[in-house]
Amino acid sequence: MLQRWYKHGLIYEVSVRAFLDSNGDGIGDLPGLTAKLDYLATLGVTCLWLLPFQPSPWRDDGYDITDLYGVHPDFGNLGDFVQLVEQAGDRGIRVIIDLVLNHTSNEHPWFLAAREGHPKFRDYYVWSGRRPPDAEKGIVFPGVQKTTWSYDRAARQYYFHRFYDFQPDLNVANPDVREEMSKIVEFWVQLGIAGFRMDAVPFLIEPVSGEDPHPGPRFEFLHELRGRLSWRRGDAILLGEANVERDAIEDYYTVGGMHMLFNFPANQHLWLSLATEDGRPLVRALEETAGIPAADQWANFLRNHDEIDLGRLSDEERATTFAAFGPRKRMQLFGRGLRRRLAPMLGGDRRRIELAFSLLLTLPGTPVIYYGDEIGMGEDLSLPERNPVRTAMQWSSDRGGGFSAATGNALAVPVISSGEFGYRSVNAADQERDPDSMLRWLRGAIRVRTECPEFGTGAWKVLPTRDPGVLAMRFDAGGGAVLALHNLAADRRRAALRMPANERAGLRELFADGSYDDVRRPFELAGHGYRWFRIE
Ligand code: MG
């Protein structure tokens, strides 16, 4: 069987800026991240996903880029980047990076030239002589962003921007722009990376507006980009951010050539299932997202650097989820999401956090963990928009949480210093020493999962349990089979699974939230309990 690396292992999402500052300037950097590769390897990370680290005025956490071929001088240089990739590779860790092609910063030299009417660069962006009538449609950040077309005095025209007005959209309909994008892809692959997390893919290929004179090249453009990528490095991947309807998903995989997509439906319904203590919403989402091409793979996540987008739930379902995990207005964002970290959403309750991770590690697909969640970091709700979950990594109980030798205002990102989730209570060094810590528990869980390739790659089915609070899933691959049971409810439950006698006799428990009696009895599960079995 062809082994595809992205179907195994674990992806770890990290912000270079917030991870570790190696030179005391208050800003996390590439050498800092490189110094922590052993920590990541020990956790079981097999692929690092780096959030943007290119030169940027940093008005949208680096997604406003001024040089798509560079490294922000605060983080180091291209040499430091290559060293990171090399040393990660020595530990069996691949590196993928964010690929932001939808827009640039308005300070990018291309846009500065475009505003002045440069014959080549003018057409790198999308302009209109008049303000299009649909300029208030398709706003990505409601309440923060007022329009998608803004007037530029120098150009004396309106320019299009899906996101903030300082992020003009690139004109994908222009073949020169598409060629430039392919060059960017080839450049980074040549430096040794294993692929890209593609930002905002639908916006790259959707037509700009009803009046757009250049209908976008749509999926053929993605296909072209994938071709250029695969020619340079056969096993490099595209992991797309595309929160789209189920009907559209097929095209992203088959025509667009994405290897992976984030499973947004599963994420939203997992939170709904946790809120309602009912596995059925999650099962529905898994069934709806099943059946993707065999070579492709879902990327599952609990949290990431953005808000949890609950936009695909009904109003009532969303209200239920808000009430359970973010009842206060300041915990919510854009009317659709939660701007909170995993641990505080679950009330800092270790049993519920373990349950959530156990689900993540056993769902069909590849798990993605957001930095800091492995130690149960919290959020800082005093920060604006999506920033509460973007605070500094908490390494130790030293001043500044061990993130940087600099202090106070010199820090590029705040450190959570007080309360239940402050760095004195929650940090990697203390958890390293404590055999019962969250970090050591998660390491163990990841290790067991690594020995069960069925979880990530197997054919799966949901087994009836006669209790909506208990989710039972079986995974088969390469002649092996595993079983995962999860009790979403707070109280003790029994799962009445029907299994052939020989399979029941061959059950071997691999991992559980506690110790249970003989497995041949009806399956007991403590409140928020979980049990993984191998079927021999
Ligand atoms: Mg630094």
Residue 220: the pLDDT is 85
Read off the pLDDT of each residue in 247-256 and give the average, rounded to a whole number. 91
The interaxial angle of helices 264-276 and 280-288, nearest 10 deg, is: 170
Over residues 391-402, mean pLDDT: 97
Active-site position among 241, 307, 317, 454: 241
Q: What angle do CA 332, 307, 263 make, to 5 degrees?
A: 130
Q: Which residues pair with 261 in a beta bridge?
A: 240, 298
Distance from the Cα of residue 101 to its chain's centroid: 18
Fold of the 458-535 domain? Immunoglobulin-like (2.60.40)
Distances (CA, A) of 466 to 175, 187, 472, 498: 57, 54, 10, 10
User: Which backbone phi and psi does 132 adopt, to 5 degrees?
Assistant: -60, 145
Torsion of CA 430, 433, 436, 438, to 10 degrees: 50
Active site residue 306: no
**Per-residue model confidence (pLDDT) at position 217:** 65
Q: What is the largest CA-CA distance in the chain?
A: 77
Domain ranges, ordered by start, for the chain: 5-102+175-449, 109-160, 458-535
Mean pLDDT to the nearest integer, 249-270: 95
Identity at 426, one-letter amino acid code: V
Query: What is the CA angle 472-478-484, rounded to 5?
Result: 15
From the CA of 381, how far away is ligand 1's center (Å)? 25
What is the whole-number distance in angstroms between the Cα of residue 21 and the centre of ligand 1? 4
Average pLDDT score, the chain: 94
Q: Identify the CA nearest to 4 among candidates 336, 306, 176, 259.
A: 259
Residue whose pair of structure tokens reads 């699974």 in the numeric block: 497
- Comparison of pLDDT for 496 and 211, the residue scoring more: 496
Q: How confident is the model at residue 520 (pLDDT cuts 50, 70, 90)?
A: low
Distance CA 530, CA 466 (A): 17
pLDDT band, residue 489 (cuts 50/70/90) = very high
* pLDDT score of 323: 98
**pLDDT above 90 covers what percent of the chain?**
86
308: confidence class by pLDDT, cuts 50, 70, 90: very high
Burial 488-498 (b: 16+ CB within 10 A, else e): bbeeebebebe
Phi, psi of 254 (to 5 degrees): -80, -50
pLDDT class for 214, splitting at 50, 70, 90? low
Q: Kindly give the distance from the C-alpha atom of residue 186 to the centroid of ligand 1, in angstroms, as a whole number.
A: 28
241 flagged as catalytic: yes
Residue 139 has pLDDT above 90, yes or no: no
pLDDT digits (tens, 9 = 90+) for 61-83: 999 999 999 999 999 999 999 99
The whole-number pLDDT of residue 52 equals 98
> pLDDT by residue (tens digit) across 474-488?
999 999 999 999 999
Rounded distance from Cα 84 to ligand 1 centre (Å): 15
Confidence class for position 522, pLDDT limits 50, 70, 90: confident
The pair of structure tokens assigned to 144 is: 């923060």
Stretch 39-55: mean pLDDT: 98
Mean pLDDT value across residues 31-50: 98
Residue 20: band (very low, low, confident or very high) from pLDDT cuts 50, 70, 90: very high
Classified as helix, coil or strand, 175 is helix
* pLDDT, tens digit (0-9, with 9 covering 90-100), for 160-175: 999 999 999 999 989 9
Q: Distance from the CA of 32 to the center of ligand 1, in angstroms?
A: 7
pLDDT grade, residue 396 (50/70/90)?
A: very high
Residue 517 is predicted with a pLDDT of: 80
Residue 521 has pLDDT above 80, yes or no: no
Backbone angles phi, psi at 355, to 5 degrees: -60, -45
Q: For 339-386, what is the HEC assignment?
A: CCCHHHHCCCCHHHHHHHHHHHHHCCCEEEEECCHHHCCCCCCCCCCC
Is residue 338 within 8 Å of residue 308, measured between CB atoms? yes
| Dist. CA 187–CA 401, nearest whole Å | 36
Higher-pLDDT residue of 132 and 50 is 50
Question: 531 falls in which pLDDT band (50, 70, 90)?
Answer: very high
CATH top-level class for 5-102+175-449?
A: alpha beta
Mean pLDDT of 201-222: 72
Report the distance separating Cα 152 and Cα 275, nearest Å. 46
As given in the structure block, the two tokens for residue 307 are: 């808000």
Closest C-alpha among 369, 354, 364 to residue 482: 364
Q: How confident is the model at residue 188 (pLDDT cuts 50, 70, 90)?
A: very high
pLDDT of 209 reads: 59
The CA 87 to ligand 1 mean position distance, Å, reads 19
pLDDT of residue 142: 79
Q: Is 536 exposed, middle or buried (0-12, 13-18, 19+ CB in 10 A)?
A: exposed
Pick the CATH number of 109-160 from 3.40.190.290, 3.40.50.300, 3.90.400.10, 3.40.50.2300: 3.90.400.10
Using the predicted structure, report yes or no on whether residue 215 has a pLDDT greater than 60. no
Cβ pair 124, 221 in contact under 8 A = no
- Token pair 């990431």 is found at 304
Mean pLDDT is lowest, of 148-162, 312-326, 513-527, for 513-527
Q: Residue 282: left if φ>0, alpha if ψ -120 to 50, beta else—which one? A: alpha
What integer is the mean pLDDT of 504-525? 87
- What is the per-residue pLDDT across 329-370, written as a single tens digit (0 to 9) for each? 999 998 899 999 999 999 999 999 999 999 999 999 999 999
Give pLDDT, residue 94: 98
Lowest mean pLDDT among 72-76, 140-144, 283-287: 140-144
Separation between Cα atoms, residue 303 and residue 88, nearest integer Å: 24
What's the gap in Å between 75 CA and the centre of ligand 1? 6
The answer to whether residue 273 scores a pLDDT higher than 90 is: yes
* DSSP annotation string for 223-236: HHHHHHHHHH-TT-
Question: Residue 213 above 60 pLDDT?
Answer: no
Helices (H) and strands (E) in the chain, counts: 18, 21
Q: Which position among 60, 74, 80, 199 bears the catalytic label?
A: 199
Distance in Å, CA 306 to ligand 1 centroid: 24
Tokens 């209109």 -> residue:
128
Strand ranges across the sheet with 149-152: 127-128, 157-160, 149-152
